[in-house]
Chain A
């Protein structure tokens, strides 16, 4: 199981430097680990504990609080079907069952080709657009069975690559990470050194 790559350790150190206490950098670095491997491995958690000077149990305790951190490999696309009350009344169970049949897996598991994971989730705050689902946390509203099939076909064909990045990709946390400094000539190492 992989630890963080050298490049990611550099980024992690930069993130740690932003906080008065190293421990505060835990969540961003967990995201980094998930982006690297698609899930947070035990070795990554050990490595993060070393970097932050805390115990692996503390990393584990925090990480397992968040449903969005995965601890075993998941598909390239995580499909979260909401089964909370509004969606349920408008056919969420049927949609989930259709999804399971269509992909040939049970909710909570991943297709053999590693493309899709289906999960049933609690309310995703789209009750006016029920039944709703998310693909890697991008919404799809009022989903019919046919639309679901179409979505899967599009994802398999790579048609939605621009809109929906692979599972684990960091989008918002990235704004201030070293890659964005390329045009300013700064490097992460220089930033760490400066601190």
Chain B
């Protein structure tokens, strides 16, 4: 076991962050256009002026990024020792007694002058520009510009537009060089793939030749571009801003729960924009969350319920389908009782969906249920002292024991990266392979799959780590970094870490890095396994062993989600009957006897719970596809067909019922959710991790230990049915250390056979220097030879041989 120390190259320290504030923060009194205003020390004049109600035009300034003073549009007049002077308000900090004027003739003249210069080379192709109508340059040219240009010469010309990535187009003629996109790529995303080149008369934003701006966060540059220079291919020429209708919502692509604005035109979703909320996403979105609206309007969506007949699944009416489903439930109850029914799912829907299905399960007495299928952690993890994202981003120490956040929870990655870069936090990473945050980690403790407990011991024995833990709160980001390591092992490793932290006297809390959109909400609202009933894997095992009369899949797709593909396959084959509620026909739902077409995100109202336990609203923006219905409604109607009135007449009834019946959600009223853009925090009842033991066996010298991890773009339904994203999946591959590639004796890209104890798959072999020797990493759910065939959920770890074909 070795540890690597990543040096702080500039030698600064995070000590300052942990020391108590020497004195309470006070405000500074400034005068803006004659009105006194209490400004925060350290803020800029532009912040104070705008907050005081005097709008200052600006392009380059963005409150979430370092001011650079590029555009010079935000001139104001400030009284100085030698009288009034013009200053760039985004670069001037507020000071006590400062007198600011934003409306003098001098200021007006400066603003007009700057705008005239900015427009010198701007093409004014507003009628054909996507930004026209919502363009800061257009708006401010009207409100603060000179009205006429004196420029009669030829404007600068560039080829337009050029793709700088698969998703983003760049029009250099429209660009005003505000440095927002390049600053975003550098400061916020850490993907410095775009840069100003040929600085001078020909300054332009550009990538390195043949190295596209393939950032997971590229869509944000389009959103913050103050002109139409950057446009995103999924939205280009789809709508004019004045034809867009929008509502605030929450992204449910992963469990971070970024606040969004969902925009549609002519009953079609066309764009999501990030909403700036302090507690979660700061206005940012990942590209998967931003562009997967395409899947909602996909032609492959289920439009009607299906019932299995003579020639397979056939479209039918809702009455017919619900009747068929109710008959299957009744038969199962009659022949095997409630113990012969298993329900999986809820994590892909709203809180209301999960709650209604849990209520139906309660009414039927069904205890076998789970929102996870062996791809997460035990529900009890939610009952540990919970940290918020902000807690994590302000904690002196962040311990990562889980997935690659850049791949699975991208905006959480941005927040934690920011914490490390701004030196508020030090990151201690425990993982088997390198992750997106590895380069920002203060210390890394790599471990061989299955031996996480040893890395925990090594980390806690490190004197520097112990000193660091004493500096204040410690937030553990806990999840599943390796789907080939059993849930039992992951739980045991987490338990040993938490015990160790307690032993070291650290005050710790946990941020659960479970991935699926509403997994936390589903688990908190009754889709968690009840005590002694066993979790999702046990439901699948029961089905595989023929003990289930009926398996109900509520948006769950075990064939894709369960790491153990063989178990999922046997479960679907072994369950006597299957009822699926789904938006698409997936590898799982296509095996069902009854498929109930569900309304998707953007088609139904409700609430969702993110990984912090924060509840915020999701909205119906477009009409549901075909006759599809929200999951909660399906549960309610199925209940009625079975003689159980769940008492829900509308989605609001369900939201109200949650607030009344679930203690943790008592504060989650409709009014509270509607009023708080930041959402409403819930707390799960205190719980303790179940006892778990890990025992990774010895391996022989020929074996590689398997790491199965997710990537942002994969063959999941939401990405596969979004044409703009589908081709971004990196594709199936096995990754080994470059020296191991030599050992195998093939060249990179050659197909090899990975032979496990139960099965073998063929995958192209590539190198990845972040994979330690003796380990092979395979990306999950990439099509091709499914790595799930190698994973056995009942063994702690998976060892494979790599054989040449």
Cβ of B9 and Cβ of A57 under 8 Å apart? no
- Nearest CB in chain A to that of B194: its residue: A57
Cβ of B199 and Cβ of A57 under 8 Å apart? no
- With contacts A56-B208, A56-B211, A57-B211 known, is A21 near B10, CB below 8 A? yes
Chain B 192-218, CB-CB to A under 8 Å as 1, else 0, gives 111111111000001111110000000
Out of A46, A58, A59, A65, name the residue touching B199 (CB < 8 Å): A65
Q: How far is B197's CA from A20's CA once the two chains are assembled, in angstroms?
A: 25
Cβ of A57 and Cβ of B195 under 8 Å apart? yes
User: Does chain B have a CB within 8 A of A61?
Assistant: yes
Q: List the A side residues contacting B209 at CB < 8 Å.
A: 42, 60
Q: List the A side residues contacting B10 at CB < 8 Å.
A: 20-21
Q: List the A side residues contacting B195 at CB < 8 Å.
A: 57-58, 60-61
Q: List the B side residues contacting A54 at CB < 8 Å.
A: 192
User: Does chain B have a CB within 8 A of A55?
Assistant: yes
Most buried by A among B10, B194, B195: B195
Interface residues in A19-70 (C-beta closer than 8 Å to B): 20-21, 42, 45-46, 54-61, 64-65
Q: How far is B192's CA from A46's CA once the two chains are assembled, in angstroms?
A: 14
Q: How far is B210's CA from A30's CA once the two chains are assembled, in angstroms?
A: 20
Cβ of B200 and Cβ of A57 under 8 Å apart? no
- Nearest CB in chain A to that of B185: its residue: A57
- With contacts A20-B9, A21-B10 known, is A45 near B208, CB below 8 A? yes
Q: How far is B10's CA from A46's CA once the two chains are assembled, in angstroms?
A: 25
Cβ of A60 and Cβ of B199 under 8 Å apart? no
Q: How far is B129's CA from A2's CA once the two chains are assembled, in angstroms?
A: 42
Q: List the A side residues contacting B211 at CB < 8 Å.
A: 55-57
Chain B 657-680, CB-CB to A under 8 Å as 1, else 0, gives 000000000000000000000000
Cβ of A21 and Cβ of B9 under 8 Å apart? yes
Q: How far is B10's CA from A57's CA once the two chains are assembled, in angstroms?
A: 23
Q: Chain A nearest CB: distance from B363 CB in Å?
A: 57
Chain B 318-334, CB-CB to A under 8 Å as 1, else 0, gives 00000000000000000
Q: List the B side residues contacting A60 at CB < 8 Å.
A: 195, 197, 206, 208-209
Q: Chain A nearest CB: distance from B258 CB in Å?
A: 26
Q: How far is B205's CA from A57's CA once the two chains are assembled, in angstroms?
A: 10
- With contacts A20-B10, A21-B9 known, is A57 near B198, CB below 8 A? no
Q: List the B side residues contacting A42 at CB < 8 Å.
A: 208-210
Cβ of B200 and Cβ of A65 under 8 Å apart? yes
- With contacts A20-B9, A20-B10 known, is A55 near B208, CB below 8 A? yes
Q: How far is B186's CA from A54's CA once the two chains are assembled, in angstroms?
A: 11
- With contacts A21-B10, A42-B209, A55-B208 known, is A64 near B199, CB below 8 A? yes
Cβ of B196 and Cβ of A61 under 8 Å apart? yes
Q: Chain B nearest CB: distance from A3 CB in Å?
A: 15
- With contacts A21-B9, A21-B10, A42-B209 known, is A58 near B192, CB below 8 A? yes
Q: List the B side residues contacting A55 at CB < 8 Å.
A: 191-193, 208, 211
Q: List the A side residues contacting B208 at CB < 8 Å.
A: 42, 45-46, 55-57, 59-60
Q: How far is B211's CA from A46's CA once the two chains are assembled, in angstroms?
A: 10
- Nearest CB in chain B to that of A59: its residue: B208
Interface residues in A64-80 (C-beta closer than 8 Å to B): 64-65
- Nearest CB in chain A to that of B182: its residue: A61
Q: List the B side residues contacting A21 at CB < 8 Å.
A: 9-10
Q: How far is B193's CA from A50's CA once the two chains are assembled, in angstroms?
A: 14
Interface residues in B7-47 (C-beta closer than 8 Å to A): 9-10
Q: List the A side residues contacting B206 at CB < 8 Å.
A: 57, 60
Q: Chain A nearest CB: distance from B164 CB in Å?
A: 10
Q: List the B side residues contacting A45 at CB < 8 Å.
A: 208
Q: Chain A nearest CB: distance from B158 CB in Å?
A: 15
Chain A 79-93, CB-CB to B under 8 Å as 1, else 0, gives 000000000000000
Q: How far is B199's CA from A20's CA once the two chains are assembled, in angstroms?
A: 26
Q: List the B side residues contacting A59 at CB < 8 Å.
A: 208
Q: Chain B nearest CB: distance from A31 CB in Å?
A: 18
Q: Chain B nearest CB: distance from A59 CB in Å?
A: 8
Q: List the A side residues contacting B191 at CB < 8 Å.
A: 55
Q: List the A side residues contacting B194 at CB < 8 Å.
A: 57
Q: Chain B nearest CB: distance from A60 CB in Å?
A: 5
Q: List the B side residues contacting A65 at CB < 8 Å.
A: 198-200
Q: How far is B186's CA from A55's CA once the two chains are assembled, in angstroms?
A: 10
Cβ of B198 and Cβ of A64 under 8 Å apart? yes
Most buried by B among A42, A57, A60: A57
Q: How far is B192's CA from A58's CA once the two chains are assembled, in angstroms?
A: 7
Q: List the B side residues contacting A20 at CB < 8 Å.
A: 9-10
Q: How far is B208's CA from A20's CA once the two chains are assembled, in angstroms?
A: 26
Interface residues in B349-389 (C-beta closer than 8 Å to A): none
Q: Chain B nearest CB: distance from A23 CB in Å?
A: 10
Q: List the B side residues contacting A57 at CB < 8 Å.
A: 192-195, 206-208, 211
Chain B 576-592, CB-CB to A under 8 Å as 1, else 0, gives 00000000000000000
Out of B192, B197, B207, name the residue touching A64 (CB < 8 Å): B197
Q: How far is B208's CA from A60's CA once the two chains are assembled, in angstroms?
A: 6
Most buried by B among A21, A46, A55: A55
Q: How far is B9's CA from A20's CA once the two chains are assembled, in angstroms?
A: 7
Q: Chain A nearest CB: distance from B170 CB in Å?
A: 13
Q: How far is B191's CA from A142's CA once the two chains are assembled, in angstroms?
A: 50
Q: List the B side residues contacting A58 at CB < 8 Å.
A: 192, 195
Q: How far is B12's CA from A21's CA once the two chains are assembled, in angstroms?
A: 13
Q: How far is B208's CA from A45's CA once the two chains are assembled, in angstroms?
A: 9
Q: How far is B208's CA from A57's CA once the two chains are assembled, in angstroms?
A: 5
Q: List the A side residues contacting B200 at CB < 8 Å.
A: 65
Q: Chain A nearest CB: distance from B417 CB in Å?
A: 16
Q: Chain A nearest CB: distance from B229 CB in Å?
A: 17
Chain A 150-169, CB-CB to B under 8 Å as 1, else 0, gives 00000000000000000000
Q: How far is B197's CA from A60's CA once the two chains are assembled, in angstroms?
A: 7
Q: Chain A nearest CB: distance from B172 CB in Å?
A: 14
Q: How far is B200's CA from A193's CA once the two chains are assembled, in angstroms?
A: 40
- Nearest CB in chain A to that of B193: its residue: A57
Most buried by B among A21, A46, A64, A65: A64
- Nearest CB in chain B to that of A21: its residue: B9
Q: How far is B207's CA from A61's CA once the two chains are assembled, in angstroms?
A: 9
Q: Chain B nearest CB: distance from A58 CB in Å?
A: 5
Q: Chain B nearest CB: distance from A119 CB in Å?
A: 15
- Nearest CB in chain A to that of B9: its residue: A21
Q: List the A side residues contacting B9 at CB < 8 Å.
A: 20-21
Q: Chain A nearest CB: distance from B56 CB in Å?
A: 30
Q: List the B side residues contacting A64 at CB < 8 Å.
A: 197-199
- Nearest CB in chain B to that of A63: its residue: B197
Q: How far is B197's CA from A42's CA once the two chains are assembled, in angstroms?
A: 14
Q: How far is B439's CA from A54's CA once the two chains are assembled, in angstroms?
A: 12
- Nearest CB in chain A to that of B199: its residue: A65
Chain A 96-114, CB-CB to B under 8 Å as 1, else 0, gives 0000000000000000000
Cβ of B197 and Cβ of A61 under 8 Å apart? yes
Chain B 94-117, CB-CB to A under 8 Å as 1, else 0, gives 000000000000000000000000
Q: How far is B195's CA from A60's CA once the two chains are assembled, in angstroms?
A: 8
Interface residues in B650-700 (C-beta closer than 8 Å to A): none
Q: How far is B60's CA from A166's CA once the two chains are assembled, in angstroms?
A: 44
Q: How far is B209's CA from A149's CA once the two chains are assembled, in angstroms?
A: 39
Q: Chain A nearest CB: distance from B207 CB in Å?
A: 6
Q: How far is B211's CA from A163's CA once the two chains are assembled, in angstroms?
A: 41
- Nearest CB in chain A to that of B191: its residue: A55
Chain A to chain B contacts (Cβ below 8 Å), 15 pairs: A20-B10, A21-B10, A42-B208, A46-B208, A55-B191, A55-B211, A56-B208, A57-B194, A57-B195, A57-B207, A57-B211, A59-B208, A61-B196, A65-B199, A65-B200
Q: A42-B208, A57-B208, A65-B200 are in contact. List 18 more A-B contacts (CB 8 A).
A: A21-B10, A42-B209, A46-B208, A54-B192, A55-B191, A55-B193, A55-B211, A57-B192, A57-B195, A57-B207, A59-B208, A60-B206, A61-B195, A61-B196, A61-B199, A64-B197, A64-B199, A65-B198
- Sort A-B residue pairs by CB-CB distance and give the 10 closest, nearest first: A61-B195, A56-B208, A64-B197, A57-B195, A57-B208, A65-B199, A55-B192, A64-B198, A60-B208, A61-B197
> B: which residues have CB within 8 A of A?
9-10, 191-200, 206-211
